[in-house]
Structure 1
């Protein structure tokens, strides 16, 4: 059995790292809740941009130039192409594209959650995941294994684990 000093040390590390990560966790929590509504227009603002493209493009060529997911032409005439997000003038090559996006700080928070290996935020996400794993382990090392809080903690953690697995398996 580990000494009480060992358990007290883990309490201290858990507390220090917990205070440090409290702000980071708040940002992750807010961006995670925001991502739940990403398929809606919640907190998004309309932004219109004008892009100068090659003149005389057809519908397929315009879709390739704009590189928009799910692009489709609604109407095409001799002078212009209309698509759900805007229109393109065939004579001038000007495309007016309207999109909805989050304002600056919220957009950055969403990118934090969606970071890939190509982003510098990738390292922060990895470090944060490792820190959360440390919290999982250190939460159990803060108590002596024979103590009632330790035994109850194991039961509650087991219920939480089963709940999370069931939600993942049976949702959507």
Structure 2
């Protein structure tokens, strides 16, 4: 295979991998924008939850039982411990709290970014990463190395890499 043929195949691969990645990046970018608002109630619906758990739980065990990140008892009124968005009766074990969740489709999109290796999205994220790597390498074969545009492009590669490292270190 000649270098010219190799470049042609790299261009073809670059084109179709690029279109494939456009589809993934469309969903990925939307889920990334949703993540910006994860600490707000934007697009979340509230639901009041009432359940009975073990009695006399401390904050840590109550959070674990309710599968919540953090519970901080703010005030006690008799047997009732008040915490953000809810209350817990230490004597009866009754818990009432407000749960705020995104709609199912949006929640799945947010989890697209947080995909663990064992989840269903892990494979897609690895494929996306490999596609990005191919995209980067194949772009270097789109121009002849002696051309002015290639040399200028390498300068932009260097600036992008340096900027990324600086932002990672901040």
Q: TM exceeds 0.5?
A: yes
Q: TM-score, normalised by structure 2?
A: 0.86
What is the aligned residue count? 168
Report which stretch shifted further, 26-35 or 42-51.
42-51
Indicate the SS of the match to 2:5: helix
Cα offset for 1:137?
Answer: 0.5
Correspondence list, 1:31-110, <5 A:
31-54=31-54, 56-60=55-59, 61-90=61-90, 92-110=92-110
Distance, in Å, in 1 between the alignment partners of 2:158 and 2:99 is 45
Q: Which residue in 2 is equivalent to 1:146?
A: 146
Runs of 4+ residues over 6 Å off in structure 1: none
Shift of 1:66: 2.4
Is contact 1:7–1:144 with CA below 8 Å preserved after alignment? no
TM-score when scaled to structure 1? Answer: 0.85
The runs of 5 or more residues in structure 2 that have no matched partner are: none
Instruction: Give SS of 1:72's match.
Output: coil
Pick which of 152-161 and 29-38 moved more.
29-38
After superposition, give the CA deviation of every residue in 1:23-54 in whole Å (9 maximum; x if it has no partner): 11111111122222322333333232222223
Kindly state the Cα deviation for residue 58 of structure 1 after the two structures are TM-superposed.
4.3
SS at structure 1 position matched to 2:140: helix
Whether the 8 Å CA contact 1:78–1:90 is kept in 2: the answer is: no
Residue aligned with 1:141, SS: coil
Q: Could you tell me how far 1:3 is from its partner in structure 2?
A: 2.0
